[in-house]
Structure 1
């Protein structure tokens, strides 16, 4: 079993949802970002989404766009993101790592060299938001052949005609975007999210993670009652940015602040079904 499948099987046996934090790799700089990445499992992260910075992040709200700009300004690249995964794996062989971003950096590196490097680094999954199912031969199928899960997004507008195409080659889990918009917006209501989770689980047979707009422990707990996983990104990056503004010369404050924010969110997710 893959690390992703193993982790979800463990969580199912424990009757609890997964907490999946999102961080932008290289934000605010490589070393601080790596420290924070290494701290997340201890704060309660069950899986980790690691953003790959890109100059034109069309699916992201302002918070994550600015995080990507900070990372790019600090010299972050796709290769340096893979280097971070290598460094993380020196201490943690169990926590699944999913790279989330856009196709352009992968295309620039080359699909075959990227998949070789990602596999060797210990990447477990990919979320490439601008590659639709019609382009599965481009990256999705080669990634799965290399042993890397390709995780697809479903949205409130994914109707019954579109859904079979979305889930056809999806593996690992399905990511339900609970808003029809960009990251950081308000998430959907409890009943609509619950209905969507049940629909996607029935159609795909895979775990369903819910993200986009989950910002508070209360909301994370609410979503975790029905979802298999809760993804939080903008709230963590907002905490990072605020701390960075207040103490730009002390990166340890950034790490400790975001770690504590993650811990509270993880605690809410993990106790939602108690």
Structure 2
């Protein structure tokens, strides 16, 4: 698990509800007015090192990513495929600390993107839920995506996020029941993350029709903004998903640009950032022109 301090503090935040509007919802509203989907990109914090992470985040926003998921590396990433696992292991080996993640959030915000954190719940829980919410809001973060936290078990996070005006993004899958979809839609803020299929993340040559059906079901369950991720890796796939989803999420295909041919170590930084910029531009064109 990511290295972190163990001391806990009580944040000087009143116990009322924040009036801060949802940054994610504002982004989707702006794109909806243009009949365009948003492009959401993922990059693990601390890969290949903290300095390069900031360069990569700025590169992503500058070349077409609208919102960035900053991943918190974790020792047991049950949903992550080999590309993200390899990148996360590099970050863990670097011994990055949680404070650096909030600086990464500031980097995305300063570059003009919407900063989100993607994290397994255990990392947030051990850092301190209230403390995490306070620090994320202070850094300008929009909210967090919690792949292993379901709304039924998210009471503490729901309360903390309401106090600090943070988005709560829950995952649904093609196997989710209508009841589960309605529960996620009722408790989410910002958007719902629709996993295109069951299983781990990773690049895929083809996508099935199940994501479109899932988006329709999730909207019928009450969700206003539904984004699709897991498996999207080419401009053609991004364009297809962008025709029906409010946002297209790409992770492994972006992280892959910073890995060498072995797939286990970082490539030359200059080459990697150049490849990342090119990949982002091609995907952004597919996403943003999906409905034209």
TM-score by length of structure 1 reads: 0.92
Do the aligned partners of 2:260 and 2:266 also contact (CA within 8 Å) in 1? no
RMSD: 2.0
Pairing 1:8–2:11 present: no
Unaligned runs of 5+ in 1: none
Spell out, residue by residue over 1:23-58, the C-alpha distance to the aligned partner (whole angstroms, 9 max, x if none).
111110000110110121221111111101111111
Instruction: Tell me the equivalent position of 2:233.
Output: 215
Which of 252, 255, 267 is the equivalent residue of 2:270?
A: 252
Q: Does 1:119 align with 2:137?
A: yes
1:158 aligned partner: 176
Given that residues 87 and 264 in structure 2 are in contact (C-alpha distance below 8 angstroms), is that contact kept between their aligned partners in structure 1? no
Checking the alignment, whether the CA contact within 8 Å between 1:141 and 1:169 is kept in structure 2 is: no
Q: How far 1:166 sits from its partner (Å)?
A: 2.2
Match of 1:189 among 193, 199, 208: 208
Q: Greater shift after overlay, 29-38 or 199-208?
A: 199-208
Which of the pair is proportionally richer in helix? 1
The DSSP-based 3-state class of the residue aligned with 1:162 is helix
Q: Distance in 1 between matches of 2:265 and 2:99?
A: 29
8 Å contact from structure 1 (residues 244, 251) kept in 2 = no
2:223 paired with 1:234: no
How many Å separate the matches in 2 of 1:246 and 1:163? 36
Which secondary structure state, in structure 1, belongs to the residue aligned with residue 27 of structure 2?
A: helix
Q: Give the aligned partner of residue 140 of structure 1.
A: 158
Paired residue for 2:50, among 8, 30, 34?
A: 30
Q: Give the TM-score normalised by structure 2.
A: 0.87
Which has the higher mean CA deviation after the structures are superposed, 160-169 or 48-57?
160-169
The alignment covers a number of residue pairs equal to 271
Please state how far the C-alpha of 1:2 moved relative to its aligned partner.
2.4
Tell me by how many angstroms 1:249 deviates. 7.4
- After TM superposition, where is structure 1 displaced by more than 3 Å over at least 4 residues in a row? 185-188, 243-250
Bigger shift: 249-258 or 60-69?
249-258
